[in-house]
Structure 1
Amino acid sequence: MANIEDTVMAYWDACESRDWARMGMLLADDMVYHLPQTRERIRGRAAFLQFNREYPGGWHLSVTRVTGAGRQAASWITVTVDGDQQPAVSFFDLDEAGRISVITEFWPEPYEPPAGREHLVERYAIGEVQPA
């Protein structure tokens, strides 16, 4: 199994380069992605990859920090869209095979999700526990 920090860095590198095939190799089939601010959850590698393929805008990201131990890590990134920068903090869990099984991503403040991805996500209530 690769070092958790190396796995997370490889994930962000694949994301920035839009290398969805490479990203997919890092993800468990049944991975879950949580977005607490928009109360969305995406289940499964295929849906998560489609979500990323369809994400609008000419964004870029840079990694500020990744830290982890065992099968858990956290990262701090900055996403730039049209000159505006937004930080995000993401928490990662790996499965026993060393693939990313859960990502929970926090953005600066709650917001309503952009239209067009309803077919990929579940909305949930504020304060609802987010089981994998």
Structure 2
Amino acid sequence: MDDRGIREALDRHWKASDANDFEAEHAIYHEDAVLEYPQSGERIHGRHRIQSSRAAQPDRKHFEVRRISGSGDLWVTEYVLTYDGRPSYTVSIMEFRDGRVSRETQYFGDPFAPGSSRAQWVERMT
């Protein structure tokens, strides 16, 4: 699959994620895919287990993709994942093999108050 095809697959994946369409969301993964959450120390092996773990999440969630970049077998998505109204700034690193995700690593960052020591140099983002 070329870069354009992967980008289209990623767009479908994130739209399905936001819609809680678990079948469509996980169509992008190889059967033997691995998902890692370094901050919690979790690793999930296999497309079915990844899908089951996400379907079991009780919280209401929303995905807002900010940027997707990559080429070849390595793609990064920056997005805001909001659970029950609480945003988490997230980075998903996906490694592809034969047009499907073979490994994904997700990092999460909670919002924090701006530092007063740098206020004179910053522009507030909305």
Structure 2 Cα separation of the partners of residues 16 and 36 of structure 1: 23
Deviations 1:51-96 (Å, cap 9, x if unpaired)? 1100121111110000010111001010122322111001001112
Structure 1 Cα separation of the partners of residues 85 and 24 of structure 2: 27
* Letter aligned with residue 50 of structure 1: S
TM-score w.r.t. length of structure 2? 0.79
Identity %: 27
* Letter aligned with residue 109 of structure 2: P
**Counterpart in 2 of 1:5?**
7
**Counterpart in 2 of 1:73?**
75
- In the alignment, structure 1 segments of 5+ residues that lack a partner are 110-132
**1:12 CA drift (Å):** 1.0
* Letter aligned with residue 67 of structure 2: R
Moved over 3 A (4+): none
**Counterpart in 2 of 1:112?**
none
**Counterpart in 2 of 1:99?**
100
Deviations 1:81-121 (Å, cap 9, x if unpaired)? 2322111001001112x011111000117xxxxxxxxxxxx
Q: What's the RMSD between the two structures over aligned residues?
A: 1.4
- In the alignment, structure 2 segments of 5+ residues that lack a partner are 111-126
What is the correspondence of 1:2-81 to structure 2 with a 5 Å cutoff? 3=4, 4-81=6-83
Structure 2 Cα separation of the partners of residues 84 and 22 of structure 1: 25
* Aligned length in residues: 108
**1:11 CA drift (Å):** 1.4
Structure 2 Cα separation of the partners of residues 105 and 24 of structure 1: 15
- Which one has a bigger Cα radius of gyration? 2
SS of the residue aligned with 2:48?
A: helix
**1:23 CA drift (Å):** 2.2
SS of the residue aligned with 2:109?
A: coil
SS of the residue aligned with 1:46?
A: helix
Structure having the larger proportion of residues in helix = 2
Structure having the larger proportion of residues in strand = 2
